[in-house]
């Protein structure tokens, strides 16, 4: 099969719709001219709607990790005490970035496959009576495990503490609801290659007025990632440096698609995808890493049979059915495989992938009844439509 016929079931990058691909080929324009001003203003307002915010939203030409670094260098000064809440690889990454820029990072870690305990976070902050902790870092959707943290509960647990709450929503924004203003989130970062349905290369930061005040006094070195400069240029309808113009055109098209569907329907669709995949996997007799209560609508982490291994399953299904699934990271390597179901994914894609997975498992020696997983997913789909 060609690349166009692959089932790209990753938690990012995700499939790009045809109309978005066509928009990406729009001819270049002057990034200091009126056409780009109109373009950046439209997409910024569209991204704000996804964030559910009236705060400033700035866009950088980078992957999500670039936005994480921008959050660190603009709001954390060298020597600042930082509390990092981690439930997996990307929670750890946020802590590593903060350490790289001189922060004193304390990690509060929870088992991989589980969500953070908001009460435990609140208890730790309550111990900080002198308010030495300046920033709380937390991941909304942990891509390495398929677990969603309850950001609203964490915000409520931290409400009496003045620390900034900085949230990594790279793999959740647009697939799982994020109420930036209602939940009083100070900084929320995300990226283009997930639920926004465009290629990697754009990252977003929503920034509260309180966070902007902190940025004014931040002593970390920064140039390209400077939030103050980004906000000033955005008010003129520009970016400080050359933007990824083609990706802005793609983003405009994808935002129009999201607005036409309606965000509530978008969230419901992703929740339905989650339930279909989880139901189908369980009907096959496989175990899921995350509990139903904390399961992600963006991706599902599946524990492979020990006698087969996750990497054999991934290799077999790719070679025979052109289904591309993600592997486990670090200590979960060859233990889990991850099925992405966010962005431009259709119900029939999921049914086809589950059917291919059943055949793969049988061919690799697992004793299962063909069709049980697909049937269960069909039942969930029929009930949920």
Q: Is the pLDDT of residue 385 over 90?
A: no
Banded model confidence at residue 352, pLDDT cuts 50, 70, 90: very high
Q: Is the pLDDT of residue 230 over 70?
A: yes
In the sheet that 164-168 helps form, which strands lie side by side, from edge to edge?
A: 56-60, 203-207, 187-191, 164-168, 133-139, 81-86, 104-109
Tokens 């959740």 locate to 172
Q: Is the pLDDT of residue 1 over 60?
A: no
CA distance 296 to 338: 11
Look at residue 38 in the predicted model and tell me its pLDDT: 98
Look at residue 384 in the predicted model and tell me its pLDDT: 85
Look at residue 110 in the predicted model and tell me its pLDDT: 98
- Strand duo 104-109 + 203-207: pairing: unpaired
- Which residues does 294 contact at the CB level (< 8 Å), separation at least 6? 114, 115, 147, 148, 149, 150
What is the arithmetic mean of pLDDT over 142-162? 97
What is the arithmetic mean of pLDDT over 77-100? 98
Q: Which residues pair with 326 in a beta bridge?
A: 338
Look at residue 5 in the predicted model and tell me its pLDDT: 78
- Domains 3-12+262-384 and 18-259 equal at CATH topology level: no
Look at residue 2 in the predicted model and tell me its pLDDT: 54
What does the mean pLDDT of the chain come to? 97
What is the arithmetic mean of pLDDT over 232-243? 97
Q: Is the pLDDT of residue 88 over 70?
A: yes
Look at residue 43 in the predicted model and tell me its pLDDT: 98
Q: Nearest CA to 55 among 207, 190, 178, 174? A: 207
Banded model confidence at residue 25, pLDDT cuts 50, 70, 90: very high
Q: Are 116 and 141 in contact (CB under 8 A)?
A: no
Q: Which residues pair with 117 in a beta bridge?
A: none
384 versus 280: the higher-pLDDT residue is: 280
Q: Show me where the domains of the chain are located.
A: 3-12+262-384, 18-259
Look at residue 79 in the predicted model and tell me its pLDDT: 98
- Model confidence pLDDT, tens digit, residues 162-198: 999 999 999 999 999 999 999 999 999 999 999 999 9
CA distance 223 to 109: 32
Q: Are 79 and 99 in contact (CB under 8 A)?
A: no
CATH class of this structure's domain 3-12+262-384: alpha beta
CATH code given to domain 18-259: 3.40.640.10
Helix, strand or coil, per DSSP, at residue 147:
strand
What is the arithmetic mean of pLDDT over 38-62? 98
- Model confidence pLDDT, tens digit, residues 368-381: 999 999 999 999 99
Look at residue 4 in the predicted model and tell me its pLDDT: 65
């Amino acid at each position: 099969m060609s690349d166009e016929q692959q089932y790209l079931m990753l938690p990012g990058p995700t499939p790009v719709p045809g109309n978005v691909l066509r928009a990406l080929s729009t001819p270049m324009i002057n990034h200091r001219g009126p056409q780009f001003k109109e373009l950046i203003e439209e997409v910024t307002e569209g991204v704000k709607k996804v964030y559910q915010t009236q705060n400033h939203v700035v866009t950088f030409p980078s992957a999500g990790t670039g936005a994480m670094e921008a959050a660190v260098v603009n709001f954390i000064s060298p020597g600042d005490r930082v509390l990092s809440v981690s439930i997996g690889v990307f929670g750890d990454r946020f802590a590593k970035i903060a350490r790289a820029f001189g922060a004193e990072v304390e990690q509060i870690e929870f088992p991989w496959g589980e969500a953070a305990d908001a009460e435990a976070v609140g208890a730790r902050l309550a111990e900080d009576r002198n308010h030495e902790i300046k920033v709380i870092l937390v991941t909304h959707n942990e891509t390495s495990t398929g677990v969603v943290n309850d950001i609203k509960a964490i915000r409520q647990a931290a409400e009496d503490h003045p620390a900034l709450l900085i949230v990594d929503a790279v793999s959740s924004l647009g697939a799982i609801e994020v109420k930036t203003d209602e939940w009083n989130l100070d900084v929320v970062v995300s990226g283009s290659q997930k639920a926004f349905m465009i290629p990697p290369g754009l990252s977003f930061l929503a920034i509260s007025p309180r966070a902007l005040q902190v940025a004014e006094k931040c002593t970390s070195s920064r140039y390209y990632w400077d939030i103050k400069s980004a906000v000033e240029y955005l008010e003129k309808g520009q970016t400080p440096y050359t933007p990824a113009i083609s990706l802005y055109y793609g983003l405009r098209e994808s935002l129009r698609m999201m607005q036409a569907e309606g965000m509530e329907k978008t969230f419901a669709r992703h929740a339905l995808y989650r339930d279909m995949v989880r139901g189908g996997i369980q009907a096959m007799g496989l175990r899921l890493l995350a509990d139903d209560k904390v399961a992600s609508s963006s991706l599902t982490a599946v524990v492979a049979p020990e006698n087969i291994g996750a990497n054999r399953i991934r290799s077999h299904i790719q070679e025979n059915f052109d289904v591309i699934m993600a592997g486990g990271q670090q200590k979960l390597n060859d233990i889990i495989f991850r099925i992405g179901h966010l962005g431009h994914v259709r119900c029939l894609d999921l049914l086809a992938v589950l059917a291919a997975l059943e055949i793969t498992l049988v061919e690799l020696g697992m004793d299962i009844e063909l069709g049980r997983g697909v049937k269960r997913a069909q039942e969930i789909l029929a009930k949920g439509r």
